[in-house]
Structure 1
Amino acid sequence: MSFATTDLCDDNPVLLEEGGLAVLPPVFQHFGGRLQFSGPARTLKVFEDNALVRATLEMPGAGHVLVVDGGASMRRALVGGQLGLLAQDNGWSGIVVNGCIRDSAEINACAIGVRALGLHPQKSSKKGEGERDVRVSIAGVAVSPGDWIYADADGVLVARQKLG
């Protein structure tokens, strides 16, 4: 699917006004081999623990985007090179992390798109704490399971329905 986030915003002013379409603040950095990606959201809420991230990426992605609310922690990475490969190999379209990633060179070699707040070399804990398929808040924008994520060079959008 070809799209531009700028065009989606221009074509949907009513959705923007009413909240059916939202733009994530421009605080996310781009990683991964895909600059553009889209798909329905699967959500996780975790904090400095990526066991659920791994378990989710081990499942078939079927073109979904994994949205990880990591509480905006800048103290540990929630996604690394091995998880980037899992996401690529299992058919995920992309990952949005409200937190940090690591192994950026490895992730950049993967055929997925990744957005994250930054990089951090320290790995996360692996206790398995967190919630799956719940409404999360990413940089102040609510994301529910099944919402559509659209990401390109100009930004990241969250839509309550598929656009286009």
Structure 2
Amino acid sequence: MSFATTDLCDDNPTLLEDGRLAVLPPVFRQFGKHVRFFGRVTTLKVHEDNALVRAVLETPGEGNVLVIDGGGSLRRALVGGQLGLLAQDNGWAGIVVDGCVRDTDEINACEIGVRALGAHPQKSGKKGTGERNLRVHITGVAVNPGDWIYADADGIVVAQQKLA
């Protein structure tokens, strides 16, 4: 599917007005080979611990996008090269991290799209704490499991329904 986030916004003013379509603030850096990606949302809420991230990325992605509410932490990375490869190999379309990534050269070699606030060399904890499949807030924007993420060079939009 070919799309542009600018066109999605222009073509859906009513959805933007009533909140069924929202734009994430332009604070994310682009990683991975795919600048443009979209898919149905799977959510995680974790804090400086990526054991659940690995557990989810080990499952079939079926073209979905994993949205990780990392609380905006800039103190540790939640996704690294191994998880990028896992996401690619298991059919995930992309990952949006409200937090950091690491091993950026490895992630940039993966056939997925990744957005994160930045890169950080320190790995995360592995306690397995966190929650999955719940409403999260990414840079202040509500994202629900089953929503749709569309990302390209102009930004990231979240829609409550699949957009043509």
Give TM class, smaller chain: over 0.9
Letter in 2 for 1:76: R
Alignment of 1:95-134 (within 5 A): 95-134=95-134
Could you list the runs of 5+ residues in structure 2 that have no partner in the other structure? none
- 1:27 aligns with 27
Deviation at 1:80, TM superposition (A): 0.1
Residues matched between the structures, number: 164
Per the normalisation by structure 1, the TM-score is 1.00
Counterpart Cα distance in 1 of 2:103 and 2:148:
27
Letter in 2 for 1:69: D
Secondary structure of the 1:123 match is coil
Deviation at 1:118, TM superposition (A): 0.3
Counterpart Cα distance in 1 of 2:85 and 2:5:
26
- 2:163 aligns with 163
Could you list the runs of 5+ residues in structure 1 that have no partner in the other structure? none
For residues 5-60 of structure 1, the C-alpha deviation after alignment (integer angstroms, 9 at most, x for no partner) is 00000000000000000000000000000000000000000000000000000000
Counterpart Cα distance in 1 of 2:110 and 2:3:
21
- 1:154 aligns with 154
- 1:58 aligns with 58
Deviation at 1:156, TM superposition (A): 0.1
Counterpart Cα distance in 2 of 1:58 and 1:48:
19
Greater than 6 Å deviation, 4+ residue runs: none
State the identity %. 76
User: How large is the RMSD of aligned CA atoms in angstroms?
Assistant: 0.2
Per the normalisation by structure 2, the TM-score is 1.00
Letter in 1 for 2:117: L
